[in-house]
Chain A
């Protein structure tokens, strides 16, 4: 279901909170509303499900004006997810998720099936979680339950108001990843409010930037990064704008399928290995099991220093890997934390597919930075 805002306006007395907003949220896409606090992003979201009445213009759902839809009915057909505080503490996880289906008077066995399905979807074990209360689970788990509750009655539209705002940075990344995964399956029309530009770039297919109630720019995410409308958008994106673009590029787009392995030979001597490395002019080589699974790497430097006639395996170091759908941002983070200029790309069985190199990532950074200034 597409949602269209036409000259949408909200006045509080003389104060204009939202000023003639024209914007179409496309079907099956995750659109971000972002801006500094007080820009009207939450007000817009709450006007979409009639929690706040608009004072001018119109909102249309597939061409039907919001004024012609019963607000209670509308809200039951739209998923709504806010920070974890929105869960009801006196209800079990099951009852929380069952809220809207119960309002819609679904039969209880249909609700039971749906709750199990949803807990599976958000990666929580239904058997373990259904009977728990919100206070008995972690913040991140509460947020997953919040998402499940929002999806309970299988709405076409999901409104999300800074849902991951209260979660610590590490868990927030995880939640965002699994939420992207979920959206790939469910393909809902999602309007997502945030003030975190990294989150916006990572999750959003389209980004709407608001400032003092006015729409500044509304474009595909990559276009917002490459062609910021004005200085305000540039500042919002930050000086590391090009770096943020790395969240959008996936490893499979630029990885190199050529890489160097030492032969999988038992008891390979360090001297022989060193010769092989030197003839290829390499400073290190990856190591794999006879079955082709990556298990580490060895540095030429370490081989050179070895005087005790140890085997290559004795000198092997374990290695961090990345998968094809990882982002360049994750790749570069790995490079910085491990000190390696190449990170092996593997499939989910840990078989090596190629490498991603620092200089290729850097070229991408330059390309991203260049297009905006040209």
Chain B
């Protein structure tokens, strides 16, 4: 394994870069779609139930099948192979944690506080921007971390739709019965997952309002 690494470290770095590219494109898209959906459905219980159910069903589709479906679905756009189907599949997976956590976070704000905000003359938009969203940051970020870690492992399968990534070592290793390659693939995906989670924790700490952090410590 050490020998493989020393000879192919450039391949490891290239595939790591591709893996990160897919996640780096997919996660922001999932956040940009998921957070507004979460906010939009927080006012309507029925809409919330329906959207959460749909996102839940999408998540139960086996990842392998979802990638396959994406290849077929995107084929007419001449984008059935490579990064596009992988990105779309990861976005779909990441949506549920994003929507669900946003919904929970927005709803978790104390009604007394919203009552106070409205009573002081805030408009709905101001209540959302100045009260609900700042208070929702920790829970929404937890959703993003959840989605990111999920994305890191699911992106492994993107190799099968021609998007490359760290899945290369696993699948190529399996077909060549090269155990060292498989272990390198598995290990690097695991390390990347932990690292992503940690980096997002730092980001979360950076953007969580100070007052909430102090309140949580007590």
Contacts and interface: CB of A to CB of B under 8 A. Distances in A.
Interface in B126-170: 126, 130-131, 134-135
A103 B126 contact: yes
Interface string B194-218: 0000000000000001111011001
Nearest to B135: A90
B119 A90 contact: no
B211 A85 contact: no
A51 B119 CA distance: 7
B211 A75 contact: no
Interface stretch (A110-118, A129-137, A169-177, A262-270): A129-137
A86 B113 CA distance: 4
B173 to A, nearest CB: 49
A72 B123 CA distance: 7
B76 interface: no
Given A135-B211, A136-B214, A82 B120 contact: no
A49 interface: yes
A80 B212 CA distance: 23
Contact of A91 (B121, B126, B211): B211
Interface residues of B, number: 24
A113 to B, nearest CB: 20
Given A80-B120, A82-B119, A135 B218 contact: yes
Contacts, number: 73
B64 to A, nearest CB: 43
A89 B118 contact: no
Interface in A126-150: 133-136, 149
Interface string B102-130: 00000000101101111111110010001
Contact of A86 (B112, B121, B210, B212): B112
Chain B interface, DSSP helix/strand/loop, else mixed: helix
A73 B211 contact: no
B126 to A, nearest CB: 7
Contact of A100 (B110, B121, B130, B209): B121
B115 A89 contact: no
A80 B112 CA distance: 12
Contacts of A76: 120-121
Interface in A244-272: none
A350 interface: no
B131 A103 contact: no
Contacts of B119: 46, 49, 51, 75, 80, 82, 159
Nearest to A70: B121
Interface in A89-110: 89-92, 99-100, 103
Contacts of B209: 90-91
Given A80-B120, A135-B214, 19 more contacts: A51-B115, A75-B120, A76-B121, A80-B116, A82-B119, A85-B110, A87-B113, A88-B130, A88-B131, A89-B212, A90-B211, A90-B212, A99-B120, A100-B120, A103-B120, A133-B210, A133-B215, A135-B211, A136-B214
Name the 10 nearest CB pairs between A and B, nearest first. A86-B116, A76-B121, A90-B209, A75-B121, A135-B215, A80-B119, A133-B211, A90-B211, A85-B112, A90-B134
